[in-house]
A and B are shown apart, each in its own frame.
Chain A
Amino acid sequence: MEFKKIIKTIFFTEILKGMALTFKSMLSPAVTRQYPEEKHPAMPGFRGLHALVVDPATGKEKCIACGLCAAICPSQCIYIYSTEGPDNKKFAERYEIELTRCIYCAFCVEACPVGAIVLTEHYEYTDYSREALYMTKEKLMANWNKYMAGPKGEEYFKKFWHPTADDYRAYDGQPMFRKREG
């Protein structure tokens, strides 16, 4: 026992072991992502930049200015100014989100009773000015056209609008542990 300890002390065995590990990982492929060139692919349902749903039938927003998203927003950063439209319907004259204060919790998506707001998978929207991070209704609708138009937007509410009916019951094909084949 003593002898082993002396050998260890003289030959730096524990340090050599560490060095061997370092050498081994030197030969294995690198895991670092070179960010600006190599982008992180956002997973489906990522909570990124906001967008207001544009109804393809009318070309207008789906939002009915009910104010639920502004009520639940934990950082109180949604501002809605509603008014009466020509067809006697309430609509949002101004719909603004202050991105600098938003915490991307997606509670607004959860709260909306008609499915009029989404969080897109876009996450690179940093800017030098505050104005660029102050989202107006027009900007939010442009976001929808840019990032969510087409089948992606249609799919969004089926999958990421919680709670769904499936959350309240056991359904067929519920994900379970399965042994790996082979």
Chain B
Amino acid sequence: MGEIEQEKLTEAAALKTRELTVSMGPQHPATHGVLRLVLDLDGETVVKCTPHVGYLHRGIEKLAENRTYLSALPLTDRLDYISSMSNNIGYVVAVERLLGIEAPERAKFIRTIVGEMTRISSHIIWVATHALDIGAMTVFLYSFREREWILDLLEMLCGARLTVSYPRIGGVRNDVSQEFIDSLYKFVEGFDKRVDEYETLIDQNRIWLKRTKGIGVISAEEAVNWGLSGPMVRGSGIPYDVRKYAPYDAYDKVEFEVPVGKDPGDVYDRYRCRMIELRQSAWIIKQCIEKLPAGPVMAPDAPKFTLPPKDRVLKDMESLIHHFILITKGPTTAPKGEIYSSVEVPKGELGFYIVSDGTGRPYRMRLRAPSFIHASVLPRLCEGGLIADVIANIGTIDIVLGECDR
């Protein structure tokens, strides 16, 4: 060995390596919005991961305090904006339980249908972006075809595509049309084939398997301790689903299965769970359409909380006065008290905690946002792994920052 080479070797040994701190986000295409992760890296290994949230904070909880129960509804659209219908339903169900009113049967079935439609569209977006992040672009192109169909149907239903504000306290905004039912039935009948297509593309793909199996492993016990919900906890083998445990709307009248992964679950298990949920949702919609009963879509027996029909407002004084009071002051006969009610949104369990002081406005509204809780588990999933797997982990928790930051 020459002298110069010897010298180089000692130089290399003397080089000190140290951890590198990288700020990933908030403007990173793979962080799904404005999530910022501060990563301490040792080479390619993540030593420490610190999520920073709050870039999308709009103070929705505070804003709701000076809106009446009726007009606070569109705020919930802006939580998880790709499944706004589910949030609306969560809010409406919570307020209905607080006020002690019940939506009519037909409205419940319609809500179940639209809730599952948004679950499909949300999961579709999830599989599209998750696959895109990991490197499979084709799924993205195919799945947006189906999402477009759903958005067109929502537009036909209520005139808006994303921020729907369709459910109302005591029912839904308007009845479904025959065209809507026919088109939706056609969609769900052919939907299983579409899911097959996505699966053909990625399910057995060796790159996909390498990038997802054994990544982001979390055991069932830990998942429960972290407070995870939705596909995150089901992927670890715990069949927890609010639709089964505390049924709201028409979920107790339809059959469906809760898919679970194995314990401990990884990114692939959660992917499988969501794919099965896509099929289950289509099945639920199919049953709901077949069983859809005739009847009113707004509660006829709760005149203190629902707007009077327009033809009566135009004609009779009583209704007009009532209309004025309900709109300017809100349902002032709301009982005092507090309520916690939760629904299953595509991301997990969305809870509304509402304190009522007997006025027409919520005294306090607190949200249990699944994305926020799932963001807290990110360090646990990422630390010790490679930096490339951080992307897979962000994808698997299906985070939407609108809901996380509120």
Residue from A21, A42, A163, A174 in contact with B307 in the complex, judged by beta carbons closer than 8 Å: A163
- Stretch of B28-36, B70-78, B241-249 with 4 or more beta carbons under 8 angstroms from chain A: B70-78
The distance in angstroms between the C-alpha atoms of A157 and B314, with both chains bound, is 12
The distance in angstroms between the C-alpha atoms of A130 and B54, with both chains bound, is 28
Question: B174's closest neighbor in chain A, by CB?
Answer: A162
Residue from A119, A164, A166, A170 in contact with B159 in the complex, judged by beta carbons closer than 8 Å: A119
Q: Which of B308-338 contact A (CB under 8 A)?
A: 308-314, 320, 323-324, 327-328
Residues of chain A with a CB closer than 8 A to B77's CB: 103
Question: B324's closest neighbor in chain A, by CB?
Answer: A68
Residues of chain A with a CB closer than 8 A to B173's CB: 162-163
Q: Is A87 an interface residue (CB 8 A)?
A: no
Q: Are A170 and B156 in contact (CB under 8 A)?
A: no
Question: B312's closest neighbor in chain A, by CB?
Answer: A165
Q: Which of A32-72 contact B (CB under 8 A)?
A: 42-43, 45-47, 66, 68, 71-72
- Stretch of A12-20, A92-100, A131-139 with 4 or more beta carbons under 8 angstroms from chain B: A12-20
Q: Are A168 and B298 in contact (CB under 8 A)?
A: yes
Question: B207's closest neighbor in chain A, by CB?
Answer: A15
Residues of chain B with a CB closer than 8 A to A162's CB: 173-174, 310
Q: Are B309 and A163 in contact (CB under 8 A)?
A: yes
Point out which of B77, B176, B180, B201 has the most chain A C-beta atoms below 10 A from its C-beta. B201
Residue from A14, A46, A104, A176 in contact with B206 in the complex, judged by beta carbons closer than 8 Å: A14
Q: Are B138 and A164 in contact (CB under 8 A)?
A: no
Residues of chain A with a CB closer than 8 A to B289's CB: 177
Q: Are B311 and A22 in contact (CB under 8 A)?
A: no
Residues of chain A with a CB closer than 8 A to B313's CB: 113
- Binary contact readout B333-361 vs A (1 if CB under 8 angstroms, 0 otherwise): 00000000000000000000000000000
Q: Are B200 and A167 in contact (CB under 8 A)?
A: no
Q: Is B304 an interface residue (CB 8 A)?
A: no
A interface residues, how many (CB within 8 angstroms): 49
Q: Which of A140-181 contact B (CB under 8 A)?
A: 157, 160-170, 174-178, 180
Q: Are B294 and A74 in contact (CB under 8 A)?
A: no
Residues of chain A with a CB closer than 8 A to B327's CB: 68, 71-72, 111
The distance in angstroms between the C-alpha atoms of A165 and B138, with both chains bound, is 48
Q: Are B300 and A68 in contact (CB under 8 A)?
A: no
The distance in angstroms between the C-alpha atoms of A160 and B71, with both chains bound, is 18
Q: Is B222 an interface residue (CB 8 A)?
A: no
Q: Is B297 an interface residue (CB 8 A)?
A: yes
Q: Which of B57-93 contact A (CB under 8 A)?
A: 67-68, 70-75, 77
Q: Are B174 and A167 in contact (CB under 8 A)?
A: yes
Q: Are B74 and A175 in contact (CB under 8 A)?
A: no
Question: A114's closest neighbor in chain B, by CB?
Answer: B314
The distance in angstroms between the C-alpha atoms of A40 and B243, with both chains bound, is 36
Q: Are B323 and A113 in contact (CB under 8 A)?
A: yes
The distance in angstroms between the C-alpha atoms of A168 and B311, with both chains bound, is 12
Residue from B185, B204, B311 in contact with A165 in the complex, judged by beta carbons closer than 8 Å: B311
Q: Are A74 and B296 in contact (CB under 8 A)?
A: no
Residues of chain A with a CB closer than 8 A to B185's CB: 177
Q: Are B174 and A21 in contact (CB under 8 A)?
A: no
- Binary contact readout A1-37 vs B (1 if CB under 8 angstroms, 0 otherwise): 0000000010000110110011001000001000000
Residues of B within 8 A of A (CB): 67-68, 70-75, 77, 138, 142, 145, 148, 152, 155-156, 158-160, 163, 165, 168, 171, 173-178, 180-182, 185, 197, 200-206, 289-290, 292, 294-298, 300, 306-314, 320, 323-324, 327-328
Residues of A within 8 A of B (CB): 9, 14-15, 17-18, 21-22, 25, 31, 42-43, 45-47, 66, 68, 71-74, 103-107, 110-111, 113-115, 119, 157, 160-170, 174-178, 180
